[in-house]
Amino acid sequence: MKFLPDQVIARLQTEMQTPDLSGTRYRALKLIGRGGMGAVWLAEDSILHRTVALKVLSAESSSAGLAARLMQEAIILARLEHPGIVPVHDAGTLPDGRIFYGMKYVEGQTLDRYIEPLSLRQRLQLLQRIAEPLAFAHSRGIIHRDLKPGNVMVGAFGEVLIMDWGLAKIMAATSEDHARVQAEEDSASQHSPGKPLKEESSIAGATVHGTVLGTPGYMAPEQERGDVKLIDHRTDVFGLGSILKYMMRDDRSDAHSELAPRPLRAICNKAMAAEMSARYASVQDMAADIGKYLDDMPVSAYRENIIERTVRLVNRNRVAVVLVLAYLLMRTLFILFSRH
Amino acid sequence: MNKIVLGLILGGILGILDGLTSWFTPAVRSGIVGIVIGSTFKGIIAGILIGVFARKVNSLALGIVFGLAVGAFLAWIIAFIQHGYYFQIMLPGAMVGLIVGYATQKYGAASQPLRA
């Protein structure tokens, strides 16, 4: 009995996974990545002559719930027109019945790789730029819920984009939204309430209470508990804090660096507080504190003692302090010489 | 605080301090009141001139050089009147001018443009 070589099997698997793009404007070029819901393919848009990224539901994940969630992701991205959020160009159904959406192809690196050679100051400046699209999304009533270094891309020209809004949640902003969300949650609760599982269990885009959605190590406590009703923009504050913690880590040992300055550790601790009420009220507030730290100003998360305040003021006004000390020294020398 | 006011206040304060330190020179101690008044006045004039310069010219290096020059020049005038103590008067005077020049450039508020 002849068995197929591994390379042939791998090739067949790839061919099976390759989306059927016949009849569409796209031509698949290569597989970029694979996630829980589907795969992302690099494709060529034959009409606009540009490369795009197509996120396609994988064949084995093609349940009605996941299809709805992928479409929900496309709808959320379409709502969020911001330079820091990957834009969606297209969405629909492929000839093989799989849901897809097309978005901008971002050439760059994920945050975890990009920050490796950067200084702490540069990393913090990057963090401020991550907060901007997040704040925009929150203003549109959308929570990301899966913030981590792997979901932030830095493009070839230094542009920062937040990716993978697959777990994003729309907060009810209007009474119509509220009615729609309530109807979806009522429908979802009839299925598998309180069962901790991954995104596959969500129905029509609504998250069942008790569902644990997120990435271990970056999830807020309310996410870990599956307390879906508590999740709001402060969940993303926690996520941003977890990215800050990652940025502050000691690259040599992978441990959280105890050498990081106290105000910065205080900012991180406040963002990642277990109690939601103890966290920053918004990502803008957290970014503002980071900005104050970078400007050598006192931060709201940390109460300086008198020595720290003096040292900070001296550091901020080093030249003026040196000039005044030089003047006093000169005056002292004159006094001493005049006595002799 | 605008640059001229900052220069005026800082020049005045440093002028007072400058004048008070003459108490440590026994030869001039008897005339300390006049020295303090003169030194304060010199400091205020220097501060105003340096503040006006800082308003017109936004350059830390030039501001420092100008402050140094104005402080030294005004101190020279005082020393000339005193017929002596050139070094003891001009060096601190130049340093005061330098400090005021730096401070007005670094900390003084820029003038607001007129709104239509």
* Encoded tokens for A275: 């109690």
The CA–CA distances, whole Å, from A202 to A1, A192, A197 equal 44, 9, 9
- Name the residue range of residue A96's domain: 15-104
CA-CA distance, A277 to A107, in Å (whole number)?
A: 38
Q: H or E stretch including A57? A: strand A50-57
| Residue pair A187/A203 in contact by the 8 Å Cβ criterion | yes
In this structure, what is the dihedral angle of CA atoms A104, A109, A110, A115, given to the nearest 10 degrees?
Answer: -140
Interchain CB distance below 8 Å, A327 and B99: yes
CA-CA distance, B61 to B79, in Å (whole number)?
A: 27
Tell me A303's DSSP state.
-
CA-CA distance, A193 to B28, in Å (whole number)?
A: 93
Q: Are residues A115 and A95 in the same domain?
A: no
| Chain A touched by B13 (CB under 8 Å) | no
Q: Is the pTM of this model over 0.90?
A: no
Domains contained in chain A, number: 3
What integer pLDDT is reported at residue A287 of this predicted model? 97
Is A47 part of any domain?
yes
Is A9 part of any domain?
no
Catalytic residues of A: 146
Is A2 part of any domain?
no
Q: Using 50, 70 and 90 to split pLDDT, how confident is the model at B111?
A: low
CA-CA distance, A155 to B89, in Å (whole number)?
A: 60
| Chain A touched by B21 (CB under 8 Å) | yes
Condensed to tens digits (0 to 9), the pLDDT of residues A309-329 reads 999 889 888 888 998 898 888
**Exposed e or buried b per residue across A2-24, where buried means at least 16 C-beta atoms within 10 angstroms of its C-beta:** eeeeeeeeeeeeeeebebebeeb
What integer pLDDT is reported at residue A283 of this predicted model? 97
Condensed to tens digits (0 to 9), the pLDDT of residues A21-79 reads 888 899 999 888 887 678 899 999 999 999 999 999 876 656 778 888 888 889 999 98
Smallest CA–CA distance, residue B56 to chain A, in Å, is 22
Look at residue A132 and tell me whether its pLDDT is greater than 90: yes
Q: Are residues A132 and A258 in the same domain?
A: yes
Domain end among A104, A123, A144: A104
Q: Are residues A244 and A280 in the same domain?
A: yes
Residue A100's CB: how many other CB atoms inside 10 A? 25
Q: Are residues A326 and A284 in the same domain?
A: no
Interchain CB distance below 8 Å, A324 and B92: no
Condensed to tens digits (0 to 9), the pLDDT of residues B69-87 reads 999 999 898 888 877 778 8
